[in-house]
Amino acid sequence: MKLRMVSCAWLTALISFNSWSATVLTAPPESVSTNDKFVFYQHGYIVEGTNPKPINTKNGWGVYDFPAIKQALADKSYTLIAHHRAKNTDPFAYAYELNQQVRTLVEKGVSARNITLVGFSRGSFIAGVASDKLSDLEINTVILAGCGRLVSSKHTDIKVFGHVLSVYERSDGPQSCAALAKRSTQTRSFNEIMIDTGLEHGAFYKPMNEWVTPVKAWIKAHMGR
Integer Cα distance of 25 and 144 in angstroms: 21
Integer Cα distance of 218 and 215 in angstroms: 5
Q: What is the mean pLDDT of the chain?
A: 92
| pLDDT value of residue 76 | 95
Which structural domain range is residue 176 located in?
4-222
Residue 43 has pLDDT above 50, yes or no: yes
* Overall number of domains in the chain: 1
2-6, 56-60, 122-126, 208-212: range with lowest mean pLDDT: 2-6
Under 8 Å between Cβ of 39 and 81 = yes
Q: What is the pLDDT of residues 182-223, one digit of tens each?
A: 999 999 999 999 999 999 999 999 999 999 999 999 999 999
3-state per-residue secondary structure call for 140-173: EEEEECCHHHHCCHHHCCCCCCEEEEEEEEHHHC
Taking Cα atoms as reference points, which of 113, 139, 137, 117 lies closest to residue 127?
117
Integer Cα distance of 142 and 80 in angstroms: 14
What residues contact residue 111 under an 8 Å CB cut-off, 6+ apart?
34, 224
Judged by DSSP in three states, 95 sits in helix
Task: Please tell me the pTM assigned to this model.
Answer: 0.91
Q: What is the CATH number of the domain that holds 23?
A: 3.40.50.1820
